[in-house]
Structures are given as structure tokens and as C-alpha cells.
Structure 1
Amino acid sequence: MPWVLQELGIIVAETFSRVQWIYNASLRKYFNVTLFLLFFAVGLYVLLKALGVDLLWTLAKAQKWCVNPDWVLLDSSPFASLLRNMGILFGLGLGLHLSGDNETRSKKPSSASFRTGCIGVSLVLLQLLDKMTFSSSNQILFYLLSFGKCAVALVLPTALVPGAISWISHENKHEKDM
């Protein structure tokens, strides 16, 4: 049976590796897809809650069978996972569009030192972002912050860090020319 899952994974990877709409989609399309998924997820959440379904049943099961129940967090619930994935999708769209069009990208430095600097700064910032944890006492706030954290985690390395480093190097170049 595991080989079937591996084959399915390879098929999914091959299919999506050829999908170019991700890079060419408008920011509006990313926003609309994220809103659709958000309304669908929240609607389903409210409907199931109204029907009396325990939406955190996975946490109760995990806490019951886990060696250390303290390891089980609200972050491991299916709804939190869905919101993280929506944050990732929105962050990807926002990052790709904040990084600018092809003309702006061609003006950015593409040297090895620029790329190494972007990687280094991104890794440090992502490690700091990863250290951020949120209290699960307020579920709505927890879900919103989790969504935001995942969106920022993709905007940082795709747009903000390269843009900031490019701007700093551009400013330094102008100061040397004076």
C-alpha cells in the first residue's frame, strides 16, 4: 500500500510542476481563491458546530493516546491546518506580486552575493518567525495569527527581503558614486 501513495505523490508532483498559472495569476485571483476557501471553511465550521459536532475531536483523541498529552496543541487541528494552507496560498500570491513585474525583477541584482544575502537574512527572519507561538485560549485570535504568520512566512523571502537588500545595495551604490 505505501507504494501506491508514493505513486500518487509522484503523479501529483508531476501534474503541479507543469502548472504555470501560479506564477501568472493576478493578485485578485489569489485573493478571491483565499476568500472562497475562507468562507467555505468558516461556513462548514459554523454548520458543523450548529449540528453539535465536536470540531476538536482530533485533539481529544490525540491527547488520549499521546505519550505526552502536552505535545498536542490546537495547531494540530484540521481547521488550523486549513487556515495555515490558506495563509500560505495568500502569502505566495502577495509575495509574487509585491516582488514586482518582470521589468523590476530584471533591475534587481542577481549576483551570488545578493542571493546568498537574501538566503541568509530570510533564514534568520524565518527562524525568528518560527519561534513565535500563540496562546490557544482565544481560538479566533489563534487562527487569525496562524493565518498571518504563514502568509508572512512566504512574503518575507519572496518579496520583502530581496526588495530591502536590493534597495540597500542601490542606496550604497548611489552614496559611493557621490
Structure 2
Amino acid sequence: MEAVHTHGVWVADSLQQKTMSQEKLWLIITHMGDPKAAFLLIFPLTYFIHRRTGTTVLWVAAVSEWLNLVFKWFLFGERPYWWIGESRLFVNNHPQVIQFASTCETGPGSPSGHAMVTAAVWWVIVSAVGSSLYSRTRSVIWTALPYLLYITLLVAVGLSRIFILAHFPHQVVAGSITGFILGVILNPRAPEQRPLLFYVGSSLGLLLTALLMKIGLEELGFDLSWSITLAKKWCAHSEWVRLDSAPFSSLTRDCGAILGLGLSQYWKPRGWPLPWASRALCLALSSMGLYHINRFPLPVQPLPLFYGLFLLKFLLVPQVVMVVVPAGVHLLTSKMKRD
């Protein structure tokens, strides 16, 4: 893998040198490809356009991110920003690369979570749009358009991850392919109108399975904190190493979102019948609510408290989008009609 990693570093170096003027664009793209964006941005947007597609997006985002964590634990992938220093291959010919605030993620690097979750989640959307366009137009050209945009998005997210030194090229390719396969498999199998016990079991199952795998790997002598140690050692600024990018943060996010999805469907299984104007208002209010939930600071010590609150934060995401805001808008519009 040394040759693959070395080539990847020089690809990143060339990409930075040639496109540094587009730095802000790359950073925007990498933020849009963040798995967190699937929960906080893509889910509410798709939910208020098409309810089933929105809930499928949330389910696929949670399951694909959980699988990404499992793959990373087993593959032990390096990240460019620490491998450059650890390899000691560039002492006499150091690449002219720089780090960014988004660079210093603490989990292993393979496969890319940004690429994997983006590929899985956006496949749900693209396949729905493609099917709708074909049923309306019967045009192959119009139907192919969303799939071309899908490929363009994956390429852009992958390049942004290489640009900021978060991943090697082969890691974003692996993540994109894996995410596409997961999207195809999970999209038609997303649960609909399942009992609350199903979601409670799914959330606990993902949590306990990950914990058992972690314990098992550590019993076999594997140090799963190795990537966190390297991140702290080689990150250009210590404040860029954030606890919310740690592997267990993604695990608690996924478990919280699935449990929250189940609770939302339990409170109001079929939602509220809202016209398009009310849906637009719901989207705006939900986005404001999720922004403040995401920005709410959490104590980083003790760790169990942080992870518990992090789980609660993403448990609230489906509640806000599917229950609290639609209920408020429904009551408001009904009162206005009566008056």
C-alpha cells in the first residue's frame, strides 16, 4: 500500500496547487458531503417534498454510516494528513500541502464516510426523481439527467476529500462504490409503518453489535484508538480535533436517529396532510430548529455524558421534522381557516 499512499499524496498535492483558488468551494462541497448533512439538511428537505423518500433517506443515512464505522474498524485505513509524517518518506521532498479545519477527522480513513453516505443517500433521491421523470416524460434523456448529476456529485465530494487531505483517492472510490451498492440494496427495503419495538430493537442492535465488535477486536490485541492518537499528533491545530468526529459519535448519531424515527412514527404514523405552502413553512422552521440543535454545545467530559447527549441530540432530529413543527403548522393553519 505504500506506493498507493505515496501516489495519493502527490495527487492531493497537485490538486491543491492547481485549485487552491477554489478553496471555499471545496470546503462547501466537503461540508455538504458530511454524513451529518444527510440528517440535518437532506432529510428535512426530502421529507417535506415526499414523506417516504425523506424517511428512507434518514434510515439509509444511519445504516450506511454505521456500516462505514464497521468497515473502518476492520480495514485500518490511513489518512493522508498523518501518513505524510508517519511514513517518513517525504523528508527530502516534502509535498506543499496544507490542512484545513475539516481535515482532522479522528477515525480510520477507509472507506471514505463522506463518499459512502453521500452515494447511498443520494441514490435514494436520484432513483425517485429518475422514476418520476420517466413516468411523466417517457424520455430517456430527461431520465438520465439526475443520474449524471449523481455521478458529478460523487466526483466532487471525492475530490474535496482528497483536496483537504482527509482521504486518499482509493478510499473515496471505495466509499462511493460501497455507498452506491448500499443505496441500491437499502432503498426498497426501508421500513414503513413498523411498530416502535422494531426501531428500538434496531437502535439497540446497532449499538450493542458495534460495542461487541469493539470489545472483540480489543481482546484480539487491536488498538481501535490508534487513529485518534495519530490525529492528535499530526493535526496542524489541536482545536481541529473534535470529539464529534470520533467513531463513537457517528455510532450514537445513527442509533439516536433510528430511535427518533421510530418514536416519530409512533406519535403520528401518517403525519399531517399539509399543502405545499405549509410544507415550505415546515421546512423553514425545521431547518431553524435543527440548526440550533446542532449548534448547542455539549460537555466533552465525562465521555459517557457527551455520547448520551449526542444520541439525544439526533433522537430529537426526527421529532422536530416529523412531529413538532408539522403539528404546530397544522394547528396554526387550521386556526387561521376557522377564523
Partner of 1:15: 185
1:122 counterpart = 2:286? yes
Mapped partners of 2:176, 2:288: distance in 1: 33
1:66 positional shift: 0.9
Describe how 1:89-104 pairs up with structure 2 within 5 A: 89-101=258-270
| Structure-2 change in CA distance of 1:53 and 1:15 (3 Å) | closer
1:155 counterpart = 2:319? yes
Mapped partners of 1:12, 1:52: distance in 2: 30
Where 1:157 maps in the other structure, the secondary structure is helix
Where 1:146 maps in the other structure, the secondary structure is helix
Mapped partners of 2:228, 2:242: distance in 1: 7
Mapped partners of 2:242, 2:203: distance in 1: 25
1:77 positional shift: 1.8
1:33 counterpart = 2:199? no
Where 1:23 maps in the other structure, the secondary structure is coil
1:65 counterpart = 2:234? yes
| Counterpart residue type for residue 137 of structure 1 | Q
The runs of 5 or more residues in structure 1 that have no matched partner are: none
Give deviations 1:127-162, integer Å, cap 9, x for gaps: 111111212121111010000001111221122211
1:91 positional shift: 1.4
Is 34-43 or 87-96 further displaced after alignment?
34-43
1:10 positional shift: 1.8
Mapped partners of 1:5, 1:83: distance in 2: 21
Normalising by structure 2, what TM-score? 0.45
Asked if the contact 2:193–2:265 (Cα under 8 Å) also holds between the matched residues in 1, the reply is: no
The runs of 5 or more residues in structure 2 that have no matched partner are: 1-169
Count of aligned positions: 169
Mapped partners of 2:241, 2:328: distance in 1: 38
Mapped partners of 1:58, 1:43: distance in 2: 19
Partner of 1:131: 295
